C-alpha cells in the first residue's frame, strides 16, 4: 500500500506533460470542493432552521399537553389538581382555553385565535419575554384584565399599543342564541385593554391574542373549564416517563401529547426537507464525479510507460488497480478537505458576523441560523469517499486489464 500511495501522491502533484490533464484534474478537485462545501452548508443551515423553529414553537407549545379525549373542554377540578401535584415529573402547569373570536378596534375587524391563560402560564413558557416587542407582559393587574397580541393582529386592526386610547372589543358567539339577526343577540361582547405585543413569526403574530383565563371563561360561558392543560417538565429528557405517569394518573379521559406529537407533521417536514435536499446535492456530486473518470483516463494514457515498467518489475495487477484507485481518492480527498474547511469558515462567519440575512421583517433572527454537527461532516465525508471510489474504480480496472495487452509494447 505504501508504494502505491507514494506513486499516487507523485502523480497527483507532479506536472503533467499535457496541460489538459492538469485542467481536468483541477476541475475534478474543484467539483468535489464546492460539492462538499455545499453539502455541509446545507445540512448546517437546516440544523439551524430546525433549532430556530423548535425554539419559536416552544413559546406556544409546552413540553407536554393534555387534552380531553372527547369534546372541546374539560372541567378544572380540585381532584385533577391533586393528581397533578402528586406527579414528580411536573415543574409547572397551566390551564388554557383557546377559541376563535372576532376582534374589533375602531372601524376594523379581524378573526383571531384568543387564548385564555392562567397565572401559571408564564412559568410553563419561560422564554416569552424574549419575544415581547412593545409594552409589558401583563395579563391581570389590580383586578383589571389586559391582553397581549401578536404584531400581525395589531397591524390588521390598526392598533398601536403605545397610543391606544380605547379598548379592544372581543365578540364570541352565544351558545344559547337562537337568532343571529343582530350582533347583540348572537354574540357576547367584552372589552379589554392591550398591555403589549409580541413577534415570533407570521404564523403566530397574525393569529394569537392572549387574555386572562377567567376573563375568557366568562366571555365564552366555560366557567371552571379549559381546553388544554400545558405542562413544563423538570427534566425534558424524561418526557416519555412523564407521559406514562400522566396517562396512569388521568386515565382514558385525556390525551397526553409530547411536544413532537403536538407538531408531528412540522418535525417530519423539517427532517424530510433536509434529507431530500441532501439527496439532490449528492446526485449533483455523482454527476460531477464523472470529471474524476475523465481525469484518471487521461492520466492512464499518459502514464502507460510508467505502468508498463512497474508491471515488468513485478507490480501485480491488483496493485495497479489500487494505484489508480488511490489517485482518484486523493483527488476527491484534497477537494473535499478544502471544501469542508471552507464550509467551516463560512459557518463560523455566519454565526459570528452574519453573512446572509434572514428574509421577513417579523423574524427576530436577523441572519440565517447555522448549527454544525460532527455527524454531518462524517456523513458528507463518507458520501464523498464512496462516490470517489466508485468513480475511480472503472478507469483503474481498465488500466490493470490492459497491462498485458498494450502496456508491455512500450518496454
Pick 201 or 62 by higher pLDDT: 62
How many Cα atoms sit within 13 Å of 194 on the Cβ side? 32
Domain final position from 213, 228, 262: 262
Average pLDDT in the 4-11 region? Answer: 67
- 318 and 362 part of one domain: yes
Pick 235 or 176 by higher pLDDT: 235
- 286 and 345 part of one domain: yes
Least-confidence region, from 21-30, 176-185, 200-209: 176-185
- 196 and 322 part of one domain: no
Q: What integer pLDDT is reported at residue 342 of this predicted model?
A: 93
Pick 15 or 240 by higher pLDDT: 240
Least-confidence region, from 72-76, 87-91, 115-119, 171-175: 171-175
pLDDT digits (tens, 9 = 90+) for 218-257: 999 889 999 999 999 999 889 999 999 999 999 888 999 9
- 228 and 175 part of one domain: yes
- 88 and 213 part of one domain: yes
Overall number of domains in the chain: 2
Domain final position from 242, 262, 282: 262
Confidence of residue 128 (pLDDT cuts 50, 70, 90): confident
- Cα 329 from Cα 155, distance rounded (Å): 58
- 8 and 74 part of one domain: no
Give the residue ranges of DSSP H helices in 158-289. 183-186, 202-205, 213-220, 239-250, 259-262, 264-288
pLDDT digits (tens, 9 = 90+) for 372-410: 988 888 888 888 888 888 877 777 777 666 655 555 555
Pick 186 or 113 by higher pLDDT: 113
Share of the chain above pLDDT 70, in %: 81
- 155 and 26 part of one domain: no
10 Å Cβ neighbour count for 256? Answer: 20
- Cα 392 from Cα 394, distance rounded (Å): 6
Q: What integer pLDDT is reported at residue 201 of this predicted model?
A: 78
Least-confidence region, from 269-273, 314-318, 331-335: 314-318
Residue 332 has pLDDT above 70, yes or no: yes
Least-confidence region, from 165-169, 235-239, 326-330: 326-330
Q: What integer pLDDT is reported at residue 288 of this predicted model?
A: 76
Contacts 24+ apart (CB under 8 A), 168-171: 168/103, 168/104, 168/105, 168/192, 168/193, 168/194, 169/103, 169/104, 169/105, 170/101, 170/102, 170/103, 170/104, 170/114, 170/211, 170/219, 171/101, 171/102, 171/103, 171/104
Per the prediction, the chain carries an average pLDDT of 82
- 355 and 372 part of one domain: yes
- Cα 32 from Cα 291, distance rounded (Å): 10
Containing H/E element for 134?
A: strand 132-135
Pick 68 or 56 by higher pLDDT: 68
pLDDT digits (tens, 9 = 90+) for 20-47: 556 767 777 788 888 889 889 988 988 8
Taking Cα atoms as reference points, which of 156, 203, 196, 161 lies closest to residue 61? 203
Q: What integer pLDDT is reported at residue 404 of this predicted model?
A: 52
- 209 and 72 part of one domain: yes
Instruction: Report residue 52 as a C-alpha cell.
Output: 430556530
Confidence of residue 9 (pLDDT cuts 50, 70, 90): low
- 160 and 301 part of one domain: no
- 113 and 251 part of one domain: yes
- 291 and 330 part of one domain: yes
Average pLDDT in the 317-324 region? Answer: 70
Average pLDDT in the 319-330 region? Answer: 75
Pick 14 or 259 by higher pLDDT: 259
Domain final position from 237, 262, 287: 262
Q: Which domain holds residue 85?
A: 64-262
Amino acid at each position: 500500500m505504501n508504494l502505491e500511495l507514494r506513486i499516487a501522491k507523485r502523480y497527483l502533484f507532479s506536472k503533467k506533460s499535457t496541460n489538459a490533464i492538469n485542467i481536468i484534474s483541477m476541475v475534478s478537485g474543484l467539483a468535489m470542493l464546492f460539492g462538499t462545501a455545499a453539502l455541509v452548508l446545507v445540512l448546517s443551515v437546516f440544523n439551524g432552521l430546525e433549532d430556530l423553529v423548535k425554539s419559536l414553537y416552544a413559546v406556544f407549545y409546552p413540553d407536554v399537553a393534555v387534552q380531553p379525549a372527547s369534546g372541546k373542554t374539560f372541567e378544572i377540578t380540585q381532584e385533577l389538581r391533586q393528581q397533578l401535584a402528586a406527579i414528580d415529573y411536573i415543574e409547572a402547569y397551566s390551564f388554557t382555553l383557546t377559541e376563535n373570536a372576532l376582534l374589533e378596534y375602531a372601524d376594523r375587524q379581524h378573526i383571531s385565535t384568543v387564548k385564555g391563560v392562567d397565572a401559571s402560564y408564564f412559568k410553563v413558557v419561560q422564554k416569552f419575554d424574549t419575544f415581547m416587542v412593545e409594552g409589558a407582559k401583563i395579563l391581570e393587574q389590580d383586578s383589571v384584565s389586559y391582553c397581549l397580541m401578536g404584531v400581525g393582529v395589531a397591524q390588521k386592526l390598526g392598533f398601536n399599543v403605545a397610543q391606544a386610547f380605547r379598548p379592544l372589543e372581543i365578540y364570541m358567539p352565544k351558545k344559547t342564541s337562537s337568532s343571529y339577526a343582530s350582533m347583540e343577540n348572537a354574540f357576547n361582547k367584552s372589552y379589554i385593554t392591550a398591555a403589549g405585543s409580541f413577534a415570533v413569526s407570521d404564523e403566530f403574530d397574525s393569529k394569537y391574542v392572549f387574555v386572562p383565563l377567567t376573563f375568557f371563561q366568562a366571555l365564552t360561558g366555560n366557567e371552571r373549564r379549559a381546553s388544554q392543560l400545558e405542562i413544563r417538565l423538570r427534566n425534558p429528557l424524561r418526557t416519555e416517563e412523564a407521559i406514562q405517569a400522566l396517562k396512569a394518573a388521568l386515565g382514558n379521559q385525556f390525551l397526553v401529547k409530547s411536544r413532537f406529537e403536538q407538531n408531528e407533521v412540522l418535525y417530519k417536514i423539517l427532517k424530510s426537507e433536509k434529507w431530500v435536499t441532501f439527496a439532490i446535492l449528492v446526485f449533483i456530486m455523482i454527476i460531477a464525479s464523472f470529471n474524476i473518470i475523465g481525469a484518471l483516463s487521461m492520466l492512464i494514457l499518459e502514464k502507460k510507460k510508467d505502468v508498463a515498467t512497474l508491471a515488468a518489475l513485478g507490480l501485480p495487477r491488483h496493485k495497479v488497480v489500487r494505484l489508480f484507485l488511490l489517485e482518484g481518492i486523493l483527488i476527491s480527498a484534497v477537494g473535499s478537505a478544502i471544501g469542508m474547511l471552507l464550509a467551516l469558515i463560512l459557518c463560523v462567519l455566519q454565526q459570528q458576523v452574519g453573512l446572509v440575512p434572514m428574509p421577513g421583517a417579523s423574524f427576530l433572527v436577523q441572519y440565517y441560523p447555522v448549527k454544525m454537527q460532527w455527524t454531518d461532516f462524517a456523513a458528507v465525508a463518507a458520501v464523498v469517499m464512496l462516490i470517489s471510489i466508485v468513480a475511480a474504480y472503472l478507469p483503474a480496472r481498465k488500466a490493470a486489464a490492459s497491462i498485458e495487452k498494450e502496456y508491455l509494447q512500450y518496454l
